[in-house]
Amino acid sequence: MTGGTSGRSTGRAVRFGFLGAGWIASRALAPAVHAADGATLQAVAARDLGRAAALEPEGRCYDDYAAVVADPDVDVVYVALSNEAHRPWTLAALQAGKHVLCEKPLGLDATEVAEITAMAVTHDRLAVEAFWYRWHPRTLRLEHLLAEGVPGRILGVETDFTFLGDYTGEFAGNYRLEPARGGGALYDVGCYAVSGAHLAVGPELTVEKATATLGETGVDLATSATLRVPGGVHAGAGAVVACGIAAPPRQVFRVEGEDAVLELPGDEAFTSWNRSSTLEIREAGGTVRVETFAPVDPYRRMVEAVAARVRGEDAFVVPLDHSAQVVTTLDAVRTTTAAAAGSTATAGE
């Protein structure tokens, strides 16, 4: 049911089971599930049972992830583990007949995402990558404006996501700094920048050049790339994407077209959460329109949408086709920077 419905339309609350009780699970998803209409937090598994209990599930707490996957009272498994664990636990949950909401990145390469997609199709289950910004009303409005052709032929896109991580003290040894665990800026926040680029210009992007700055552990602390649309209505348009996990915070989502520029201004282009936000439309003739959006929790909207789809209702979820597009571009960027050993390289050199 990657693009369909589960056939279950009982109207009952959909029961979520969490794998992991770290920051994102405890600060964002657990409150979202508790507040959501049509969803309950049924079970949580964590290495520390105390942390699992702190999320206040209605059912059981486990110290074994497999126990949540096997729990007959769980409908949706939410995978909130470090990146290298996303694929195996998503596959295990799908194979057990559960629907899955998985933190980004869904897989570490295109092969892993294809494997997850095939498993979801085989077992007729939903698999959704938790690109939570996609459920924000401002992003949905941006998509509508793009679909309506408001910017005209797109000339260029800029998407940036950087933050200054503190990897000392309690954060020493963070998985973001471990190559074997899917660490690095490209996996952590570069996926947002690339997702935004694909959202703006469509499924095909090629890498023109890319640069990575590597840290002592070998992960990319920062990556930037120039992408190009190879064909179609926006052929030749460029997309400049940048990401970093040890850089001053910056978020940009700007689409420049022949007729108008669309921009999500401010410092929360991807992470607007329970705060008001705006969308700017700057027309070529000089007219500027600003649309304002009330504070909203996109995590809650994501949970409610996944629950609705599980019940067989019509609701937006990020399609696996988009996840495949994003990871394919991430693969190409990573290959280009690896070939250059951390220096600027041109694809094909």
pLDDT in tens, 2-52: 543 333 334 789 999 999 999 999 999 999 999 999 999 999 999 999 999
Asked whether residue 301 is domain-assigned, the answer is no
Asked whether residue 303 is domain-assigned, the answer is no
What b-and-e string marks burial along 257-287, b requiring 16 or more CB atoms within 10 Å of the CB? beebbbbbeeebbbbbbeeebebbbbeeeee
Please write the tens of the pLDDT for every residue from 220-237.
999 999 999 999 999 999
Q: Are residues 199 and 158 in the same domain?
A: yes
Q: Report helix, strand or coil for 2.
A: coil
Please write the tens of the pLDDT for every residue from 109-158.
999 999 999 999 999 999 999 999 999 999 999 999 999 999 999 999 99
Asked whether residue 182 is domain-assigned, the answer is yes
Asked whether residue 309 is domain-assigned, the answer is no
Amino acid 167: pLDDT: 81
For residue 79, the cross-strand partners are: 19, 102
Asked whether residue 310 is domain-assigned, the answer is no
Q: Are residues 94 and 225 in the same domain?
A: no
Tokens for 247?
A: 């850089």
Asked whether residue 312 is domain-assigned, the answer is no
Catalytic status, residue 209: no
DSSP 152: -
Q: Mean pLDDT over residues 195-205, rounded?
A: 98
Percentage with pLDDT > 70 across the chain: 94
Q: Are residues 237 and 106 in the same domain?
A: no
Contacts 24+ apart (CB under 8 A), 252-255: 252/158, 252/159, 252/160, 253/142, 253/158, 253/159, 253/196, 254/157, 254/158, 254/159, 255/142, 255/146, 255/151, 255/154, 255/156, 255/157, 255/200
DSSP 105: P
Asked whether residue 202 is domain-assigned, the answer is yes
Measured CA to CA, the distance from residue 173 to residue 97 in angstroms comes to 34
Q: Which domain holds residue 291?
A: 137-295+323-346
pTM, 2 dp: 0.94
Please write the tens of the pLDDT for every residue from 253-281.
999 999 999 999 999 999 999 999 999 99
Q: Are residues 175 and 108 in the same domain?
A: no
Number of domains in the chain: 2
Q: Are 45 and 53 in contact (CB under 8 A)?
A: no
From the candidates 104, 209, 300, 309, give the one annotated as an active-site residue.
104
Q: Mean pLDDT over residues 65-81, rounded?
A: 99
Q: In what order do the strands lie in the sheet with 246-257?
A: 288-293, 277-283, 260-263, 246-257, 154-164, 238-244, 220-228, 206-214, 345-346
